[in-house]
Amino acid sequence: MKRIIFPTDFSESADKALEFAMDIAKKGDMEILLLNAYDLPYAQNVMSTSLIDIMRENSENGLKQLVAKLEAKGVNAKHKSMMGNPIRVVKEITRKDPESIVVMGTKGASGIEEVLIGSNAASVLQSTNVPVLAIPADANFEMIEKIVYCTDFRSQKNDRALRRLASLAKLFQAEVLILHIQQEGQADLATGQRHKFDHHLSEVKHSFHILKEANVEEAILNFTKEKEADMLALLTRKYGIIRGLFHSSLTNKVAFHSKVPLLALHESE
């Protein structure tokens, strides 16, 4: 991973996530691309052009201020202001930069607002092929020492994801706790893939943890809390565990109410 793509709406939750992005950038000698997308609802009125100009100017000014802030702290930064749907803009940028990582802020909410926020975050995760690190607004900024990586041991296309996980763990000198929730009646799938995990994580302290629980999501939350992990990582698949996590009431607790950053990795094509 060579560059951090940082979408921002200039909110407090985005500013919080920027602290994480700066730390990763410094440790990995990476550049941060600050990205702001602004979109104007369709309207046929004479004010549309003037409003777009105002939105563009506000976007550019906000980004320039953030670039100055980062450079003052010794972080190499660039910015890009684009008109369009934020999700499509992030998808377009990451498609041209497959070795990047997206770092983004999320915020807790309630009712319909929370559903919409969750839907947007899930859409970013599903629409990109680069790692996405989602930082809750109330995340505690501390050293990343333990990363819980959840797996069902079914993926045959997880080599790239494991390499990226290892790269991030090495930056923080963090331990990786590989967690598999084995449900009743399910065959033991860990044995056949342990060698692959050991290979890709050979330079990282790691351990395997197999739990037998009926409720996968709840088991993940409990394990992460019990181990006092600093980050939770999952492999995204179209119908994988990440889909359930981001479209359930429990997911809102994980992704938007938890203090633990969530790293979404992707299968290889």
Cα 176 from Cα 63, distance rounded (Å): 35
Higher pLDDT, 118 or 207: 207
What is the tens place of the pLDDT at every residue in 125-142?
Answer: 667 788 989 887 777 767
Q: Say what the pLDDT of residue 181 is.
A: 84
Beta bridge partners of 136: 106
- Would 242 be classed as within a structural domain? yes
Higher pLDDT, 97 or 214: 97
- Would 129 be classed as within a structural domain? yes
CB 90 within 8 A of CB 131: no
Q: Which range, 46-50, 103-107, 112-116, 132-136, is most confident?
A: 132-136
Total count of domains within the chain = 2
> Same structural domain for residues 160 and 128?
no
Q: Three-class SS of residue 150? A: strand
Q: What is the CATH number of the domain that holds 170?
A: 3.40.50.620
- For 172, phi then psi, to 5°, come to -95, -5
Cα 35 from Cα 80, distance rounded (Å): 5
Q: How far is CA 95 from CA 99, 128, 155, in A?
A: 9, 7, 23
User: Domain of 253?
Assistant: 146-266
pTM of the model: 0.83
- Would 239 be classed as within a structural domain? yes
pLDDT band at 86; cut points 50, 70, 90: confident
Cα 209 from Cα 61, distance rounded (Å): 48
| 141, HSE (Cβ side, Cα atoms, 13 Å) | 13
> Same structural domain for residues 7 and 64?
yes
What is the tens place of the pLDDT at every residue in 109-122?
Answer: 444 344 444 455 66
> Same structural domain for residues 61 and 178?
no
Cα 266 from Cα 237, distance rounded (Å): 7
